[in-house]
Structure 1
């Protein structure tokens, strides 16, 4: 595998992961479509690659007081329950079913991000009913994505935070904080059955760490107005990429 391409992919996705609080599913898509790993190996490898970005981004965001720990801890407990529940389903899935689950999750995640982008662009306030029930549900889905499919589950968490009327920057930062714990739990639950492609993981992790370190610095330099514009452009773009990765196995 080309080392430069691995580092570049890691850098770009690590940057997106911290900048938007979502996009870790791109690791799985890259490892499957570009580097031709199996879905199960790609999912396990992506889970490990994600950790450096989440830890570095959270440490930087903690120093800038960007994380909402009150809302974050509220969503964290639901996400941990989802992670445990998702891990219990794994023994009952075969290769074809696993591939189908990942594809379906990618499609649902893409649809969620697109819907969230449209709703946010209209600047609608969340209803009390939506704000009460959807964020915990989204957190459970995020945990299931970690426990079952090896994804980091950032999309549902960011959507849940936005429905609690958190700013985009705070939603992304809090999502990263939550996913450190769900990712560690997911790795711990599946370590004995995980097949990790260590060669791409090491080089992608290097790029990921660099991208994650650059994201908060870039966010401060470009200003809030430009940051919001980039966020509005990037979210639907990521959703389209994830949608393509989800439907590709059926084409």
Structure 2
């Protein structure tokens, strides 16, 4: 029995490290990945998986955001607009979650992710010159992200990152600003889900430690990629991941 615990802990540390590097490099918190891992592999209840995924992702998004802040890549104007719009949506989503049929939620969320992924690819290269329009769109993406956090216990990084890219930020700035927004969302989401006492610390703590180490590496990795000729390729990969996430959500 003890050997199984040790093996699981080592596996979770390694998975947390890899996920931390990948998701912070892509401007996310990893909530969706942790949620799927905990629910499908370790077979804990959906409520416990949602709570554990949010708590697990919190240290990594804080560390990743601080790394991007030190590199002065966070767009606080758009980030704060998204955050202020997303916070009430988190609360509303958490209150509505018990009353929303899962089938309806999956289809709506899946279609939104697919559309936003396609928008990243076909968007115009320049951000809108209309400041009010830009802030209004940022608010919309913030609301979508907040609902994802409140209803499903996901990190909500998808709509935030896609929205920032659609609004014209380059890859580095979009990833950095997305990480900043997710700090606030993760804190609120984790607090709301922790009140039910559903966090599985035995599984969540190793994931949290591994992800935190990965988050230290991610900002340096993104900085290196952004200076290369592969920045546009990274955006296409992000878009494809968004579409695949949407398709998987509907299934």
> Which consecutive residues of structure 1, in runs of 5 or more, have no partner in the other structure?
none
For residues 130-152 of structure 1, give each alpha carbon's deviation from its aligned partner in whole angstroms, at most 9, with x where no partner exists. Answer: 63543211111111111221111
The residue aligned with 1:145 is 148
Corresponding residue to 2:9 among 3, 13, 25: 3
The residue aligned with 2:68 is 61
Contact 2:134 2:167 in 1 (8 A): yes
Task: Give the root-mean-square deviation of aligned CA atoms.
Answer: 2.6
For residues 66-100 of structure 1, give each alpha carbon's deviation from its aligned partner in whole angstroms, at most 9, with x where no partner exists. Answer: 1111221122110112112112213435xxx4x54
Q: Secondary structure at 1:225's aligned position in 2?
A: coil
Q: Distance in 1 between matches of 2:233 and 2:115?
A: 18
Q: Distance in 2 between matches of 1:229 and 1:175?
A: 18
Equivalent residues, number = 243
Contact 2:54 2:190 in 1 (8 A): yes
Give TM-score scaled by structure 1 length: 0.83
1:18 to 2:21 alignment: no
Q: Distance in 2 between matches of 1:240 and 1:60?
A: 28
Change (3 A) 1:5 1:187: same
Contact 1:49 1:201 in 2 (8 A): yes
1:1-251 correspondence to structure 2 within 5 Å: 2-22=8-28, 23-92=30-99, 97=101, 99-100=102-103, 103-104=106-107, 107-108=110-111, 110-120=113-123, 123=125, 126=128, 128=130, 131=134, 133-229=136-232, 231-239=234-242, 241-243=244-246, 245-248=248-251
Contact 2:117 2:162 in 1 (8 A): no
Q: Secondary structure at 2:228's aligned position in 1?
A: helix
Contact 2:50 2:193 in 1 (8 A): no
Change (3 A) 1:81 1:9: same
Give TM-score scaled by structure 2 length: 0.83
